[in-house]
Structure 1
Amino acid sequence: MRLAIIDYERCQPKKCSLECLKYCPGVRMGEKTIEINEDTGKPVISEVLCSGCGICVKRCPFKAISIIGLPEELDESKIVHSYGQNRFKLFGLVVPRDGVVGIIGQNAIGKSTILRILAGELIPNLGKHDEEPSYDKVIEKFKGTELQSYFEMLKERKVKAIHKVQYVDILPKVVKGKVRDILKRVDERGKFEEVVKKLELENILDRELDKLSGGELQRVAIAAAYLREGDIYFFDEPTSWLDIRQRFNMAKLVRELKKVVVVEHDLIVLDYLSDYVHIMYGVPGAYGIVSLPKSVRVGINEYLYGELKDENIRFRKEPIVFEKRAIIDYKNRPILLSYSDMKKSLGSFKLEVKGGTIYKGEVIGILGPNGIGKTTFIKLLAKVIEPDEGEVFSEDIKVSYKPQYITPDYDGTVEDLLSSITNIHSSYYKSEIINPLQLEKLLDREVKELSGGELQRVAIAACLSRDADIYLLDEPSAFLDVEQRLAVSKVIRRIADEKEAGIFVVDHDILFQDYISDRFIVFSGEPGIYGKGSEPLNKREGANRFLKEMQITFRRDPETGRPRANKEGSQKDREQKEKGEYYYE
């Protein structure tokens, strides 16, 4: 089976000469391989007639066409849902079961579509996008499987599904009122006080929903889902904007529910949270395939390896490897800069940070809960704000800064933006920035039209493209999938090594921080009231200090070397806490 996928957002027939139609060998021989839709004025490719020559792919000036050959075992009968001709197709589904079922995969691979289908919000059309979908057809499709009875209950409305959506920032547009009133209104389980305490919502109960930050909105959305009485719960990327403590608080809360399906990119949290995982693979934006269920450790490791052993399928050429780098004594390297003890007050919030020395080629990970002053510290280093006491560094130190919240206020394309910073057409830039961050297809896109993940990658590229001594990256992993996070981490390491720059990274993904960082600065205190930042600590000491405050212990997976969080109260957890070893190298 062959897929012809057209990105209709990129397709602009009024700005081209319809090269796809003009150069198609099938059209030239009189076949209707490509036709123009009368309503949209855009091309439609017949996947039956397409020979797969790829000429249209090469000729399209907007890179809007992809021709993809599928594995032999896939055919039209295995399509669960299609968004239309020449659009994304989903092969397979997840089977809900008792416990927590995790789904892991790249962005735009169909994970959210699966949640919508299982939540009863979308009736799968089985690839017949020109027919009215119905549960009768779906039930017949899955006859003899566990999904047959599940869809029968969905049809008869005998399943109450609770769905925590991915994009919580839309909630204030559809729900109005104070947090307390909203949560009490949906509390069907009588656990309002309990969930408020576990998710640390006490200080925002009397705030209006449209006045909350991203992390606060996320916790309110999780609380609202938990408080409702349901038969099955769906959580789509519940860790976005949450700090590490809040992520594990969420995980503990979700594990109290009987039947859960969760989509998550933070592998440590997914590992801690799930009982089983399904791997999704394919081509983002084109098609997605669902693997068989696997134990959580085996599933995550196979995802990292890019190989499904039971199915005998390799879906990625290179494995994702979190290499354990040798600990370098940076004191033998040239000093890049030093900064003194600093103090800063912002309203009622007070911040104190100990001074430190940074060496050339060093990546400093910054750890701590939300509202504790990490972003304020980054802004001090960026000289966006000035300290009340202390000094940052001299004026001749050049700084490049990527803020936490990115606003797409640039008028122009991605190519215009990056070209205004550096020469993006050099072979070095293409190999070190454009290719790893998958920016080639974004270059002709307007910055204001980018999605959250696309905008994040462009912002990271813009920051690292500048000529600077210090690079400051605030939450660069937000909105990125696992592959994209690894790509960003490798780019950060190369920039540090090749430019001998100093790089400060604020991020809540511990696996990401563990991979890129040479030392840690740890922030503690009381969120929203005061924060204290340590001097740069060696990796082991910094991680131990941070994890002890979080009361979380980590071990390393013997196969992949990735950090894994021990279940609270487990034998390994108790042993490490008794030794005071919260972080194992």
Structure 2
Amino acid sequence: MPVRVAVVDKDLCQPRKCSQECIRFCPIVRSGKRAIYMDEQLGHPVITDLCTACGICVRKCPFEAITIVNLPSELGEDCVHQYGPSGFKLFRLPMPKPGRVLGIIGQNAMGKTTIAKILAGELRPNLCANSQVATEDIIRFFRGTELQPYLTRLYKGEVKVVHKPQYIELIPMYVKGTVKDVLMKIGGNEESVRKIAEKLNLTHLLNRDVSKLSGGELQRLAIAAALLRNADTYIFDEPTTHLDIVERLRVAEAIKDIAGGNKYVIVIDHDLAVLDYLADQVVILYGKPGAYGIVSHMRGAREGINEYLNGYLTSENMLIRREPIKFRVKPAPRPIQKEKVLLEWTDLVKRLGDFELEVKAGVIHRGEVIGVLGPNGIGKTTFARLLVNELEPDSGVVIPHGEVRISYKPQYVRDLAVKYGDKTVREYLAMVVGSDFTSKIIWPDLANGLSLTPLMDRELSSLSGGELQRVVVAGSLLRDAEVYLLDEPMAYLDIEQRVRVASVIRRIIEEGDVVALVIEHDITMIDYLSTSVMVFLGEPGRHGVAEPPTDLRTGMNEFLKSQDVTFRREPQVGRPRINKRDSYLDRLQRSIGEYYYYISTEEREEAGGR
């Protein structure tokens, strides 16, 4: 008999706003038995074992809250945790190994954070019994695996775990004082604090109050705090969000150093280039978001990431995606037509306190998607604010060619949830776009590509970071504008969602003959999305210099040379991979000035000449 997963998503289900046709039309219920019933205490329907998987309730639910699927029978013995009756199910757990970094890849709402909480001891798995399970039964469940001794020690309190949370924007609400005060409380002595501050480039921030830190600075503070604790297990949930490429590599090196001390290290991240550089092994989560997640067998980082992008897991013989995700090996040409100039500017200067931004004269053409690259604190957001007239330049002028309306998506979306938390997604979109937003041509693409339909009647305050990001991005793209200025639109999105967002942006720009400027730190997505790039150089926090928009090859080489990093190409799927410092390829690419678009002859031959 197959294992039947029948899930009612409690966040999507709204029984008070519907006629509960899922119950009224169930043929088993009409026969006098309870295949599905309303649980008043839980506040949503519950599907019982009498369900025959006819699918009527799935089709009747107006909120897409019900999922019913049959899985292979052998998975029944691997069910690790379920969130209440008819709730999300997680099958299997990964087995971390001391001294090696384990990476976890998968879509959002697939169980990655649940895995992190279980391995951290914050959540006791119920083995899908929908009741509390004795510690002895949990340990017995994993007998014969490497998890048995790990969980035995964990539940005895012999394993100290540090879990770096996903959402670092909330840190100032709970942590007060300067960066040094916070780290001293954890590290205990100035020498330890000094070393970790140097390693993560926090030295110049030690006397700054936590409430004044940017997103990237808060991320580094959270990682520094985690690394200062003398733990046995370190779990990092999305440690690269808001960090530029150099800081991502700096964090990766610090995490690898910890793993070298025979510690358990688990990293959950959506930046595949950094995860490939950092992880020794990976597991892939597949299934249906919000319904069930299955942990794959462990494989090497390169093999696992390639299989994930191809959408086919070899050892499981499982197709997890219909179409593979592939990246272009050669840069796309920059679309330049003199008659299509939309916006230009002279040399600009803007001073904000001790910081000065210089912007070299540049031009933007219709049909361009411009990736904006640069380290944190270099003036990218300041430049965005100059374009949207939030700031006036101290010298120079921005020259629009005709009427230029600008749609701006801010960097931090959590602030909007605080400001408009009591509004539903539908009300928020109507407020920022207009009540007729569903009649716009692009709406079906946005609703389907960003999975917005199930969120429409939920309040902003109830959304996760990824869900809120998708809503705010949709609100920005739905506005009628000539320039779409998107500040970190990929933060908190999984790789599938990032690709969909990129595809929707490209379609809007191509069909509307308008422009997008995308400020993003994920190099892989900048390459996937952009037709040209704009590079910001200088000294973060003091002086920034913005180069004019240029073609991808020139811009990528200029930026990566300034950051002292080289990438090679994975020939099988075209994805960029970070070279180890002073490796043969690293030295070769520096010598020929090719920092990004490079595939070695050996790898071309290995991939069959592709």
| Residues 334 and 532, structure 2, Cα contact 8 Å, conserved in 1 | no
State the match for 1:414 in structure 2: 425
State the match for 2:34 in structure 1: 32
| Residues 52 and 67, structure 1, Cα contact 8 Å, conserved in 2 | yes
Find 1:504's aligned residue among 517, 533, 545.
Answer: 517
Q: CA deviation at 1:312?
A: 0.8
Distance verdict in 2 for CA 1:329–1:196, change over 3 Å: closer
Counterpart mapping for 1:99-498 below 5 A: 99-130=100-131, 132-187=132-187, 191-258=192-259, 259=263, 260-324=265-329, 327-332=332-337, 334-394=340-400, 396-406=403-413, 407-408=416-417, 409-410=419-420, 412-419=423-430, 421=433, 423-426=436-439, 428-498=441-511
Residue 562 of structure 2 aligns to a residue whose secondary structure is: helix
Q: CA deviation at 1:16?
A: 2.8
Q: 1:323-357: per-residue Cα shift (whole Å, max 9, x none)? A: 34663353346322322111111122111101111
| Residues 356 and 535, structure 1, Cα contact 8 Å, conserved in 2 | yes
Q: Distance in 1 between matches of 2:212 and 2:94?
A: 36
Q: TM-score, structure 2 length as denominator?
A: 0.91
Write the letter of the residue equivalent to 1:368. G
Moved more, 178-187 or 536-545: 178-187
Moved more, 212-221 or 359-368: 212-221
| Residues 333 and 551, structure 2, Cα contact 8 Å, conserved in 1 | no
Residue 534 of structure 2 aligns to a residue whose secondary structure is: strand
Distance verdict in 2 for CA 1:309–1:188, change over 3 Å: farther
Moved more, 368-377 or 78-87: 78-87
State the match for 1:2 in structure 2: 4
| Residues 12 and 455, structure 2, Cα contact 8 Å, conserved in 1 | no
| Residues 334 and 368, structure 2, Cα contact 8 Å, conserved in 1 | no
| Residues 188 and 229, structure 1, Cα contact 8 Å, conserved in 2 | no
- Equivalences, count: 582
State the match for 1:536 in structure 2: 549
Q: Distance in 1 between matches of 2:469 and 2:186?
A: 34
Among the aligned pairs, what percent are the same residue?
Answer: 51
Alignment gaps of 5+ in structure 2: 599-610
Q: 1:361-398: per-residue Cα shift (whole Å, max 9, x none)? A: 11111100111100010111111211111111236112
Distance verdict in 2 for CA 1:517–1:150, change over 3 Å: same
Q: CA deviation at 1:430?
A: 4.3
Q: Distance in 1 between matches of 2:155 and 2:464?
A: 34
Q: TM-score, structure 1 length as denominator?
A: 0.95
| Residues 135 and 151, structure 1, Cα contact 8 Å, conserved in 2 | no
Q: Distance in 2 between matches of 1:34 and 1:504?
A: 49
Residue 564 of structure 1 aligns to a residue whose secondary structure is: strand
Is 2:79 the partner of 1:79? Answer: yes
Write the letter of the residue equivalent to 1:560. V
Q: CA deviation at 1:38?
A: 4.2
Q: 1:395-441: per-residue Cα shift (whole Å, max 9, x none)? A: 61121111112213346433344456364445943442211111111
| Residues 80 and 127, structure 1, Cα contact 8 Å, conserved in 2 | yes
| Residues 188 and 228, structure 1, Cα contact 8 Å, conserved in 2 | no
State the match for 2:23 in structure 1: 21
Distance verdict in 2 for CA 1:281–1:70, change over 3 Å: same
Q: Distance in 2 between matches of 1:94 and 1:441?
A: 30
Q: CA deviation at 1:12?
A: 2.9
Moved more, 263-272 or 436-445: 436-445
Residue 531 of structure 1 aligns to a residue whose secondary structure is: strand
Q: Distance in 1 between matches of 2:342 and 2:546?
A: 20
RMSD: 2.0
| Residues 214 and 241, structure 1, Cα contact 8 Å, conserved in 2 | yes
Moved more, 6-15 or 235-244: 6-15
Moved more, 206-215 or 22-31: 206-215
Moved more, 180-189 or 559-568: 180-189
Q: CA deviation at 1:263?
A: 0.4
Residue 438 of structure 1 aligns to a residue whose secondary structure is: coil
Distance verdict in 2 for CA 1:379–1:291, change over 3 Å: same
Alignment gaps of 5+ in structure 1: none
Residue 163 of structure 1 aligns to a residue whose secondary structure is: strand
Moved more, 310-319 or 503-512: 310-319
